[in-house]
Amino acid sequence: MSDTSAAPNAWDTARPFPGPPPGFSDRRDAIDTADGRFWELSESGWDAMLGYLADPATLARCVETRHHQVEVTVIDSTGERTFFVPRTADDQQIIDEGANSYLRDVGLPQRPTGYRWFQRLPGDLTVKDIDEAVYEAIRELPRDHHPAEAVPAIRAAMERLYRR
């Protein structure tokens, strides 16, 4: 596992998101701001890891104020009905714990809850470029590798991308 004790905790040093955040964004979308282009990290542990392993100065956050909905489909004798219900605090706790469990497994600090997380994109790169570089970096690892074994290769790939 990596030793992150010498480096500042990137979650704690994240700056405020520059400007009003978008209502909802797709992980693959670039968000243009006066301070550069950003992408919104999803609520997954994978995206949290990617955000953390890049230069900590690239992270930004804002308080989560959106009201999320969960799609529910009911199939019974009358047919199939789909509707939306508000995401509960228990739902959100499960999502947050899943991401933080993954971060603990790879040896990184937990991500504080209650925020939306963004990362400045380097140069003209896209999220697809980041994903492709990361997958290329871990391509040689065994299929059953522990996620922590991928951290050094992912960190090196992110450092290369952000130094360009």
Beta pairing, strands 36-40 & 69-76: unpaired
- The Cα–Cα gap between 49 and 51 comes to 5
Summarised one tens digit per residue, pLDDT across range 32-88 is 999 999 999 999 999 999 999 988 889 999 999 988 888 899 999 999 999 999 989
- The Cα–Cα gap between 39 and 27 comes to 6
Other beta carbons less than 10 A from residue 134's beta carbon: 20
Other beta carbons less than 10 A from residue 151's beta carbon: 21
Q: What residues pair up with 60 in beta bridges, in sequence order?
A: 15, 118
Weakest-pLDDT range from 3-7, 20-24, 147-151:
3-7
Q: How confident is the model at residue 2, as a pLDDT? A: 47
Beta pairing, strands 15-16 & 59-63: parallel
Q: How far is CA 130 from the centre of its chain?
A: 12
Question: What spatial distance separates the first Cα and last Cα of the chain, rounded to whole Å?
Answer: 27
Q: How confident is the model at residue 42, as a pLDDT? A: 94
Q: How confident is the model at residue 164, as a pLDDT? A: 66
Three-class SS of residue 48? helix
Q: How confident is the model at residue 55, as a pLDDT? A: 84
Q: What is the mean pLDDT of residues 122-144?
A: 94
- The Cα–Cα gap between 150 and 138 comes to 6
Summarised one tens digit per residue, pLDDT across range 81-125 is 999 999 899 999 999 999 999 999 999 999 999 999 999 999 899
Q: How confident is the model at residue 121, as a pLDDT? A: 95
Q: How confident is the model at residue 6 (pLDDT cuts 50, 70, 90)?
A: low
Who contacts 146 (Cβ-Cβ below 8 Å, separation ≥6)?
105
